[in-house]
Amino acid sequence: MSTVLVVEDEAAIAELIALNLRHAGYDVTLAATAEQARACVDAALPDIVLLDWMLPGQSGLALARHWRGAARTRDLPIIMLTARAGEADKIAGLDAGADDYLVKPFSTNELLARIRALLRRKAPQALDAAVEAGALRLDPATRRVTAAAPRGALEIKLGPTEFRLLHFLMTHPERVHSRAQLLDHVWGDHVFIEERTVDVHVKRLREALEPAQCAAMIETVRGAGYRLTGQAARTLVQTPD
């Protein structure tokens, strides 16, 4: 059961959120102030925090920044809840380290969808185990990707999105993933992102893998999506002398 810390000073809203989350199977803890929330997190790390922006005393924004600055809570998944809808406020919230942003009033279904998406997005990254597929090795702990090559391992430089995409594909190999599924798992929240964004990042990923002759591992499955295969022959070994 995933644990959710709800930081909200308005009791009626807090209770409503808690009721809906418990109904959906989450283990919910409530905190009415930043101070209470810090004590809760110090006691036990929740799987996700719903953080109201406007709190008495320290603001939710300052609290998010505080958690992001501490090693133990650096990766704590945070969704900001707020009545502020301006673009500058959204940017401030995301800059402070929130993973996502929900403007009040929001529907319970949207809140639950955002929570599920964020938990899925964070889950593979929480696993620090290195993964291998074909000639590729990806180590989440060091954020390094290498490809086995005749003269030692070749390092592959990837942007953060391509890294997450490759990590997801490598932990779910030989299966076809639709663009919508990839957005859901890799981006976490595809409400504002178009499906063609996936194609752009797949193209970049292939370009990064090309020097190691591993681009063919990312297969396009027409009308369905993408698949990573460890079986793709590398042109490196196929090319006759």
Sites of contact with Ca ion (CB under 5 A) = 9, 52, 54
Alpha-carbon span 166 to 77, nearest angstrom: 21
Cβ closest to Ca ion, residue 9 vs residue 219: 9
Is residue 38 within a helix (H) or strand (E), and if so which, with residue range? helix 34-43
Nearer to Ca ion, 52 or 100 (CB): 52
- Nearest approach in angstroms of CB 82 to Ca ion is 8
Shortest spacing between CB 56 and Ca ion, in angstroms: 8
Q: 61 or 202: whose CB is closer to Ca ion?
A: 61
Q: Identify which of 49, 54, 44 has the alpha carbon closest to the alpha carbon of residue 21.
A: 49
Minimum CB distance to Ca ion smaller for 104 or for 172: 104
* Gap between the terminal Cα atoms of the chain: 57
Shortest separation between residue 197's beta carbon and Ca ion, angstroms: 33
- Residue closer to Ca ion (CB basis): 9 or 189: 9
160 prior amide bond cis, ω within 30: no
Give 232's DSSP letter: P
The DSSP 8-state label assigned to residue 241 in this structure reads -
Contact in structure between 114 and 26 (CB atoms under 8 Å):
no
Closest distance of CB 60 from Ca ion, Å: 8
87-95 helix and 60-68 helix, angle to the nearest 10 degrees:
30
Query: What angle is formed at CA 122 by the lines to CA 143 and CA 31, rounded to 5 degrees?
Result: 130
Q: Least distance (Å) from Ca ion to the CB of residue 92?
A: 16
Comparing every residue's Cβ against Ca ion, the nearest one is 54
